Amino acid sequence: MADLSVEFCGVRFENPIVLASGVLGVTADSMAQVVRNGAGGVTSKSLWPYEHFGHPNPTIVTSEHYMLNAVGIPDAGPEKAREELARFREVCKAPFIANIVGGKMEDYVAIAKEVALMQPDIVEINISCPNVEDELGKPMACSIAKSSEVTKLVKAALKEAGAGHVPVTVKLSPNVENIVSIATSVLEAGADGITAINTVGPGMAINIDFAQPILANRVGGLSGPAIKPLAVKYVYDIYRAHKCPIIGTGGVCTGADAIEMMMAGATLVGVGSAVWLRGQDVFGQIVKEMNDWCDAHGVEKLSSLIGKAHAHS
Ligand SMILES: Cc1cc2nc3c(=O)[nH]c(=O)nc-3n(C[C@H](O)[C@H](O)[C@H](O)COP(=O)(O)O)c2cc1C
């Protein structure tokens, strides 16, 4: 039995598989169930500083190879999030990553101060959702200046709220010319790690019987197996440039996928769309497959695989 534990920015995880933001991370019960199902930690859905409405249904298209979502980041606001997190803490010891979002810079400052009160283990700044562009414009992750500014503001807000010790990761978009330069800017601005990647696109699926887009929003962020090679490459590129802590996310469905992501440079591995493809106990399945792979290959410590693909470059 291999040692599957990893340390991410000083936080210990029993295993590297974490629930990705927006997928089941809504209530205390759903997050605790994800941990019972085998995940090493959970990420909340994106939290706003105020109530926020998502897009009308239908919001999700699934297939064997990909998902499109235009959920639109609905949220009941910080009071509800505080209640759910307090209940989660009562029943579950696994690390909790609070993912935060906003429309304007001030929103990020406000929600950072709110989540500081929730005592998260890590804060993840979502600046990269592609399916709210009609409402918010181009994601901040597309601009070096905005990515850097939001990182500095959130770090300062956490410090002011007495949570300056909480590590911060910034969730990056694949829909940019040069993801490494964005990673460089947020790390220079004080980010402790990077989450890569958010969904790709947006993309579209058309119902040919009705001759119209399936999603009410017409377009949605692309995720699932189809995006894994992109996610692996971006994690690889960011790790090669910075050797920083990375939550590698995008298309991971199996233990082999997760190991591939770690070899590219990820310390933690986010799993989202796989819940639709393999069911809610996918976390335990992936962990078991990683363990079996380690046993078969004589790997005693899973963390020894982080960045291993770089040895050959
Ligand atoms: C239904 C759905 C909702 C999502 N909501 C969020 C969200 O609220 N905040 C966020 O940062 N990412 C969100 N994401 C993006 C995922 O966290 C993840 O980065 C992306 O889906 C790629 O991983 P996957 O292929 O394992 O799903 C969402 C993804 C899906 C499929």
User: Which pLDDT band holds residue 12 (cuts at 50, 70, 90)?
Assistant: very high
- Residue with more model confidence, 137 or 169: 169
Pocket test of ligand 1: the residue of 57, 179, 273 to mutate, having most ligand atoms within 8 Å of its CB, is: 273
Q: What is the pLDDT of residues 197-207, one digit of tens each?
A: 999 999 999 99
Give the pLDDT band of residue 134 (cuts 50, 70, 90): confident
Over residues 142-197, the pLDDT tens digits come to 889 999 999 999 999 999 999 999 999 999 999 999 999 999 999 999 999 999 99
Write down the pLDDT at residue 136: 76
Tokens of 191: 């980010």
- Ligand 1 centroid – CA 21 distance (Å): 5
Q: In the block, which residue shows the tokens 């930690």? A: 41
C-alpha 158 – ligand 1 centre gap (Å): 24
Please provide the average confidence, as pLDDT, over all residues in the chain.
94
pLDDT of residue 172: 96
Residues contacting residue 89 through CB under 8 Å, at least 6 positions apart: 96, 119
Q: Higher pLDDT residue, 1 or 148?
A: 148
Pocket test for ligand 1, best of 31, 44, 198 (most atoms within 8 A of CB): 198
**Mind giving me the DSSP string for 197-209?**
---EEEE--EETT
Question: Which among 90, 79, 74, 67 has a CA at the least distance from the CA of 25?
Answer: 74
Mean pLDDT calculated for residue range 110-133: 90
Give the span between the Cα atoms of 26 and 3, in whole angstroms. Answer: 30
Q: Which of 193, 191, 169, 181 is nearest to 245 (CA)?
A: 193
Compute the distance from residue 187 Cα to the ligand 1 centre, in Å.
22
**pLDDT single digits (tens) 255-270:** 999 999 999 999 999 9
**What domains sit in the chain, N to C, each tagged with a CATH number?**
6-307 (3.20.20.70)
Give ligand 1 pocket residues (Cβ under 6 A). 20-23, 45-46, 60, 67, 69, 71, 73, 99, 126, 129, 171, 198-199, 223-224, 227, 249-252, 270-274
Share of the chain above pLDDT 70, in %: 99
